[in-house]
Amino acid sequence: TMTETRAAPAGAPGTTFDAIVIGAGMSGLYQLIRLRELGLRARVFEAGTGVGGTWYWNRYPGCRFDSESYSYGYSFDKDLLQEWSWSEHFAPQPETERYLNRVADKYDLRRDIQFNARVKAAEWDEASRSWTVTLEDGSRHRSRFLITAIGALSAPTMPNFPGISDFRGQSFHTGLWPKEPVDFAGKRVAVIGTGASGVQTIQEVAKMARELVVFQRTPNWCAPLGNGRIAPEEMEQIRARYDEIFRRCEETFSCFLHTPMDKNTFDASEEERNAILEKLYNERGFGIWVGNFKDMLTNREANRVISDFVANKIRQRVKDQKVAEKLIPTNHGFGTRRVPLETNYYEVYNQPNVTLVDTRETPIERITGTGIRTSERDYEFDIIVYATGFDALRGAFDRIDFRGKDGVTLKEMWKDGATSLVGMLQDGFPNMFMLLGPHAALGNIPRSIEFNVDWVTRLLRHMQANGLTRAEATPEAMAKWMDHVMEVAKGLLSMEVDSWMTGVNVNVKGRQVRRVARYTGSAPAYRGWADDIAARGYAGVALS
């Protein structure tokens, strides 16, 4: 019965499993379901106390999807799709966390998940062809296969200001938000950072705080989310269209419902162009970014057209033109960094209780016991919110001491930047499979997760069927894939810009010179590469 299995010791020290999965977010949960289907003894180690990954840790006010809810959920279970209702076109975090808990319940997943279990190290042993995983509590666990489900944006980073621990008020990083509600009413609040997390936070906190000061270093190009509630009848219609919705996601460049138009910017007359941009700006979701003219992110002149269009929108929406100009990016074009989607974000700066501080003009010098000191003055706060982002793409890998063949560490292997074979394998690290590893397709992430999990599952099934116990990417296949990763990034305006997408987080490290941090090709091209490897009997993966 359920009670008996729940009562079983969760990974008694020294237990041996067929597969260990690190992380119980969207990747880890789905992988566990598939591992069970293969009849494998699997154990998931999760640092948090609940399932959900991103949707467990990021509980800041305003946190929600930027992908349409119904394109974001799992697609593998038709019953689940029919049973679940999304309340909004872009569901808020509590709903997504409930959804993932529902999945965990439906499949009785928790009995194979050990919570409060942060993985510290993982070491390959060639003789036994197995991994030894060490948790922070010192316990060690062995398994044939090691699957990392640790996320691409999961290692939060703090700024390097002095005095952070001196602050006597409350302070929070958006990506490590407490479970207990934070009361902003009547409080003086600072938000540092204006990426997607900062923008979502600012919109909400501005409604509650007595005083809100936003510390912005680099403005981002934001565009309207166009959210709305989904009435029950509309949800019925969506449910009836799920096959079509997921087929669409499979065809598009980044697995969103939106994809670039088959048209260049200057193919359209100025009048036509403005009409198209106006429509995209007022539409729901990422259309303005990933559903725009197809040359917008490669042709500098085309990019100027859309940048000017959005700059004018900001000028129209913000009353004080000095503030408006501060909110308009000047060092990068529209869409060359991740576009935060917003609901009345710009209007927040028209409120009397909200101030914008440009930290390029007046840099933050330190955090004090009572607030923040800039080069200009001291500010007093009750709450400081750090919306300062993540050590993206590989930060979660760097936190774990991975040791592969001959004791080589993954850090050493990646000292000039991460490498991979289709984002999932790394030579020197046999039987380790990365879900959403470096160079996996990102975009609408769950679509990529499902593809990665299915690909790994298929490889495991192939190994089972053929009595194989060891899989390792070949250096030749790795080199070929990495050439492709470099090749597709050529000519992209986004490659000229510092952001987590180019692997830059100035609190941690600067730009990689020799390698590309993220796969910038299309999701169909990515899947094509990975499927081709499988179709050719795992060419490029040495199996024995």
Which residues does 476 contact at the CB level (< 8 Å), separation at least 6?
540
- Applying CB under 6 A, among 64, 144, 313, 394 the residue interacting with ligand N01 is 64
- Applying CB under 6 A, among 188, 313, 338, 439 the residue interacting with ligand N01 is 338
**Shortest-Cβ-distance residue relative to ligand N01:** 195
Please provide residue 272's backbone torsions phi and psi, each rounded to the nearest 5 degrees: -60, -45
- Applying CB under 6 A, among 194, 292, 420, 448 the residue interacting with ligand N01 is 194
According to CB under 6 A, which residues from 209 to 238 bind ligand N01? Answer: 217-218
- Applying CB under 6 A, among 10, 153, 367, 523 the residue interacting with ligand N01 is 153
- Applying CB under 6 A, among 122, 387, 422, 493 the residue interacting with ligand N01 is 387
195 lies in the binding site for ligand N01 (CB under 6 A): yes
284 lies in the binding site for ligand N01 (CB under 6 A): no
Distances (CA, A) of 14 to 41, 110, 129, 250, 469: 14, 20, 16, 42, 21
Stretch that binds ligand N01, among 26-34, 224-232, 384-392, 520-528 (CB under 6 A): 384-392
Stretch that binds ligand N01, among 43-51, 63-71, 246-254, 313-321 (CB under 6 A): 63-71
Please identify, using beta-carbon distances, which residue of 114 and 194 lies nearer to ligand N01. Answer: 194
Please identify, using beta-carbon distances, which residue of 148 and 197 lies nearer to ligand N01. Answer: 197
Stretch that binds ligand N01, among 25-33, 196-204, 309-317, 419-427 (CB under 6 A): 196-204
Radius of gyration of the chain (CA): 24
- The minimum distance between CB 476 and ligand N01, in angstroms, equals 33
- End-to-end distance of the chain based on CA atoms, in angstroms? 38
Alpha helices in 319-440 (DSSP H): 321-327, 345-348, 395-398, 410-413
159 lies in the binding site for ligand N01 (CB under 6 A): yes
Stretch that binds ligand N01, among 20-28, 188-196, 265-273, 372-380 (CB under 6 A): 188-196
H or E segment and range at residue 113: strand 113-114
Contact 436, 423 (CB under 8 A): yes
66 lies in the binding site for ligand N01 (CB under 6 A): yes
Calpha distance 93→65 (Å, rounded)? 8
- Exposed (0-12), middle (13-18) or buried (19+): which is 60, by Cβ within 10 Å? buried
Question: How many residues bind ligand N01, per CB under 6 A?
Answer: 25
Which residues does 117 contact at the CB level (< 8 Å), separation at least 6?
11, 45, 46, 47, 135, 136, 137
Please identify, using beta-carbon distances, which residue of 63 and 541 lies nearer to ligand N01. Answer: 63
Please identify, using beta-carbon distances, which residue of 55 and 429 lies nearer to ligand N01. Answer: 55
445 lies in the binding site for ligand N01 (CB under 6 A): no
Q: Residue 341, SS3?
A: strand
- The minimum distance between CB 375 and ligand N01, in angstroms, equals 13
Map residues 296-335 to x or -, x wherever contact with ligand N01 holds by CB under 6 A.
----------------------------------------
Contact 523, 447 (CB under 8 A): yes
- Applying CB under 6 A, among 507, 521, 525, 531 the residue interacting with ligand N01 is 507
Please identify, using beta-carbon distances, which residue of 291 and 389 lies nearer to ligand N01. Answer: 389
Which residues does 145 contact at the CB level (< 8 Å), separation at least 6?
18, 19, 20, 40, 131, 431, 432, 433, 460
Q: Which residue has the tokens 């005095």?
A: 163
Please identify, using beta-carbon distances, which residue of 213 and 471 lies nearer to ligand N01. Answer: 213
Please identify, using beta-carbon distances, which residue of 52 and 428 lies nearer to ligand N01. Answer: 52
What b-and-e string marks burial along 302-328, b requiring 16 or more CB atoms within 10 Å of the CB?
bbebbbebbbebbeebbeeeebbebbb
Give me the DSSP letters along 505-516: BTTTB---SSS-
Q: What does the binding site for ligand N01 look like in residue numbers (CB under 6 A)?
A: 64-66, 153, 159, 174, 192-198, 200, 217-218, 338, 359, 387-390, 500, 506-507
